[in-house]
Chain A
């Protein structure tokens, strides 16, 4: 009798969990699709989380919507269109390429090109402004300095 009570007690939390998961279908392939797409969709309540990560009621509702639409035979693009029509591009973590997002998409590339151009210009100028190469006499003096055989009186100042 005691053992039976223990088993019942141990099963209790499991029963509770089973109740929680009622809205999730038991098709693992479908669930995997739902979660994969949900990771790319932004939750509008906690804006730094995807609807896969967020437990906000709206995120749960939207996950259910995604699941329902998959079950109705829609593909990923159709589900994304459905959500964008209601919440705007804001729900996408990967914003589309269009007029208003031009700067967003091209900005970093433009900055890189501008930076590289500036660097090239600076380097070219540095070459142009570099001192002329040493003549034979200067070479000899440099060699002497390196050898330590140069006359100290002349070089100690520099």
Chain B
């Protein structure tokens, strides 16, 4: 009979357990359905080499990182020094996906801009930003002017980073800026694991 008084306490602890767990979840981190799937294809102009294009196809056989960035993205400024440092002796190439460089900037009226002007403006802005923020950590950057590649990759906030394996399969997605800690604790072990597998 005495145990009956413990019932509300038990219910409370159960609720507290659920709520406590819920507090630790980050609603901003939406799990990507693309993990384990082939990286969506694209072929777009490169940022630096004006006469060249880049596609995930070009990186088949290598483990690589696809880092979504933009000059108007504030969090990218925190991430950038980490990437520059990482790129100096990175075991894998970092490919940039410059996301909506011109259209994504709320301060710019991109409506009615003709494609050639938009491409040139994007190149100029992105290069300038890289110069001003410590250099270019990317082996190559793809220009996703209209954000369509971003949609194909399920990008909903910049920066985001995808880890892609030798077969071109997305193995991991990092949401938000990469920090030294996340690099050391999560990304590097995963990279090492993928490279061992080859």
Residues of chain A touching chain B, judged by Cβ–Cβ distance below 8 Å, are: 19, 22, 44-45, 47, 57-58, 61-62, 65, 84-90
CA distance A135 to B28 in the complex (A): 70
A-B pairs with beta carbons under 8 Å apart, 15 shown: A19-B111, A19-B112, A44-B156, A44-B157, A45-B156, A47-B28, A61-B147, A61-B151, A84-B33, A86-B154, A87-B154, A88-B30, A88-B31, A88-B154, A89-B33
CA distance A25 to B154 in the complex (A): 25
Residue of B nearest to A42 (CB): B30
Size class of the contact patch on chain B = 20 to 34
Residue contact B157 to A87, C-beta cutoff 8 Å: no
In the A-B complex, the 7 residue pairs with the closest CB atoms:
A44-B156, A88-B33, A86-B154, A90-B30, A87-B154, A61-B147, A58-B156
Instruction: Indicate if B153 sits at the interface (CB-CB under 8 A).
Output: yes
A65-B154 CB under 8 A given contacts A85-B33, A87-B33:
no
Q: Which residues of A contact B130 (CB under 8 A)?
A: none
Residue of A nearest to B105 (CB): A57
Q: Which residues of B contact A58 (CB under 8 A)?
A: 147, 156
Residue contact A47 to B151, C-beta cutoff 8 Å: no
Q: Which residues of B contact A19 (CB under 8 A)?
A: 111-112
Residue of B nearest to A57 (CB): B104
Q: Which residues of A contact B87 (CB under 8 A)?
A: none
Residue contact B104 to A87, C-beta cutoff 8 Å: no
Q: Tell me, rounded to whole Å, the shortest Cβ–Cβ distance linking B39 to chain A.
A: 12
Q: Which residues of B contact A88 (CB under 8 A)?
A: 30-33, 154
CA distance A85 to B153 in the complex (A): 9
Q: Tell me, rounded to whole Å, the shortest Cβ–Cβ distance linking B106 to chain A.
A: 8
Q: Which residues of B contact A45 (CB under 8 A)?
A: 156-157
Within 8 A of A (CB), among B132-168: 147, 151-154, 156-157
Q: Name the one of A65, A84, A85, A87 contacting B156, with C-beta atoms under 8 angstroms.
A: A87
CA distance A19 to B27 in the complex (A): 36
For the A-B complex with A58-B156, A65-B151 known, give 6 more contacts whose Cβ atoms are closer than 8 Å: A57-B100, A57-B103, A57-B106, A86-B153, A86-B154, A89-B33
CA distance A86 to B30 in the complex (A): 11
Residue of B nearest to A87 (CB): B154
Instruction: Indicate if B34 sits at the interface (CB-CB under 8 A).
Output: yes
Q: Which residues of A contact B30 (CB under 8 A)?
A: 44, 87-88, 90
CA distance A106 to B78 in the complex (A): 44
Residue of A nearest to B100 (CB): A57
CA distance A90 to B29 in the complex (A): 11
A86-B152 CB under 8 A given contacts A44-B30, A57-B104, A61-B147:
yes
Q: Tell me, rounded to whole Å, the shortest Cβ–Cβ distance linking A79 to chain B.
A: 13
Residue contact B111 to A86, C-beta cutoff 8 Å: no
Residue of B nearest to A85 (CB): B33
Q: Tell me, rounded to whole Å, the shortest Cβ–Cβ distance linking A53 to chain B.
A: 16
Q: Which residues of A contact B153 (CB under 8 A)?
A: 86
Residue of B nearest to A61 (CB): B147
Residue contact B34 to A86, C-beta cutoff 8 Å: yes
Q: Which residues of A contact B27 (CB under 8 A)?
A: 47
Q: Tell me, rounded to whole Å, the shortest Cβ–Cβ distance linking A48 to chain B.
A: 10
Return the CB mask of B44-83 against A: 1 if under 8 Å, else 0. 0000000000000000000000000000000000000000
CA distance A62 to B104 in the complex (A): 14
